[in-house]
Amino acid sequence: MKLRSFGRSGLQVSPLCFGGNVFGWTADEATSSALLDRFVEAGGNFIDSANVYSRWVPGHQGGESESVIGRWLKQRGGRDRVVIATKVGLDMPGLGAGLTPAQIERSVEDSLRRLQTDHIDLYYAHSDDANTPLRDTLEVFDRLVKSGKVRAIAASNYSAQRLEEALAVSEREGFARYEGLQPRYNLFDRQPFESELAPMCQRHGLGVAVYYALASGFLSGKYRRPEDIEGRARAAALKQYANERGWRIVAALHAVATRLSSTPATVAVAWLMAQPTVTAAIASATSIEQLDALLKATALTLDAASLAELDAASVQ
């Protein structure tokens, strides 16, 4: 698997980023470890987590995903073989939500302890904090980079305007800058990334790791008609995609997959990897079979006709 440069951060990452939101949740510890082993064996090195994963599960407090990754790292070794990304900023017990210096300083120590490592490769601001001056947030991130606790910083869920403002603050103050962005982007959710964020990321040389690669599973190939969604655990999340355009995209994915002897999930992720401003596609798996389908996307080159068919089906 050929690695890609994540903007100007110096990090070399695999085009498939393993989404760690499932670790310790829908993938138990043994399954998570087996999936991580398989991912690394296949040449993947980019692993995405967040301090808040998986607080939404009854009985969880957040930090479960980082803890699973940390125990796996301790057991397997080879810390330098992987690029670990995690995040700060969403609501955590006893900490709240936000990007104040105090919140970041406490969160990074908690994440380092759970990950059982002395540094985080890529540390994201999980969501913009309009109540904290950008200078305050970036100043503490800069200290973390200079101390070696963090190799590079990035932003997730920022608007183009706020990201531009943050980059301007870093340049003016001489702080470490956000070296990348993690936006929502897939064949269905193409805006505002394509119109606003992608040109800006390209202009500033930022890395881009996109989430919701399979649109909550809607693009996985499991759903071909409205009846397939009814009764599903994620029905509410899936129904936002179940419209005329969504089913048109699904039909195109199946058509391209059949022609290329592939699967809709593999094709959907390969389409993301083919976009010039996308560095990596973040996707989760809870079985080796699912992971192998995602890994195949790194070796699948979509021909011009296939790209045109998918673009035509997903046009807004």
Q: End-to-end CA distance of the chain: give it in Å, rounded.
A: 33
Check if the beta carbon of residue 184 is closer than 8 Å to that of residue 209: no
Task: Using alpha carbons, select from 284, 273, 290 the residue that is nearest to residue 3.
Answer: 273
Tell me if the bond preceding 54 is cis, omega within 30° of 0: yes
Task: Using alpha carbons, select from 12, 46, 40, 89 the residue that is nearest to residue 283.
Answer: 46
Question: Which among 53, 124, 158, 178 is annotated as catalytic?
Answer: 53
Taking residue 257's Cβ as centre, other Cβ atoms within 10 Å add up to 20
53 given a catalytic annotation? yes
Task: Using alpha carbons, select from 315, 85, 18 the residue that is nearest to residue 194.
Answer: 315
What is the C-alpha separation between 66 and 165, in angstroms, rounded? 30
Residues in contact with 141: Cβ distance below 8 Å, sequence separation at least 6, in sequence order:
104, 123, 125, 150, 153, 175, 176
Check if the beta carbon of residue 307 is closer than 8 Å to that of residue 41: no
Residues marked active site are found at: 53
